[in-house]
Copies of this chain bind each other. A is one copy, B any other.
């Protein structure tokens, strides 16, 4: 078996509503956003605390999954590269990886800073940053 079904465990609520508005990386000026945790996963999220640095894995549901080569950052002056060597959202499995900081916890809503994902983006997983150097 080589197909796997992932579920949204949370959804991004953000003032960023279009890809045109979204910075390409979260350190390029993204506003605060909220993660709205699905109540079915409340237990998994129960120990989230303000100040925590976390990794979010999202499903970039507007991506083009047929794309295998891109000009990095859409810059036509740069030669095409295989998407596994880029952070293009267009890729066979459009999973976004975002490092953010939890600023506020309000029940099943988590406010985070530094998230470049647009409003409505599904969240697949939340992991702690284990090591500031390696992120292992």
Name A's B-contacting residues (CB within 8 A): 1-9, 25-27, 41, 43-48, 52, 54-55, 57, 59, 61, 68-69, 81-87, 91-93, 95, 97-99, 122, 124-128, 130, 132-136
How many Å lie between the Cα of A127 and that of B47 in the bound state?
28
Is A5's CB under 8 angstroms from B4's CB? yes
Give this chain's copy count.
2
Please give, as numbers and ranges, the residues of chain B lying within 8 Å of A68 by CB-CB distance.
41, 43-44
Q: What is the CB-to-nearest-CB distance from A40 to chain B, in angstroms, rounded to a whole number?
A: 8
How many Å lie between the Cα of A54 and that of B87 in the bound state?
11
In the complex with contacts A44-B83, A68-B41, A124-B27 CB distance below 8 A: no
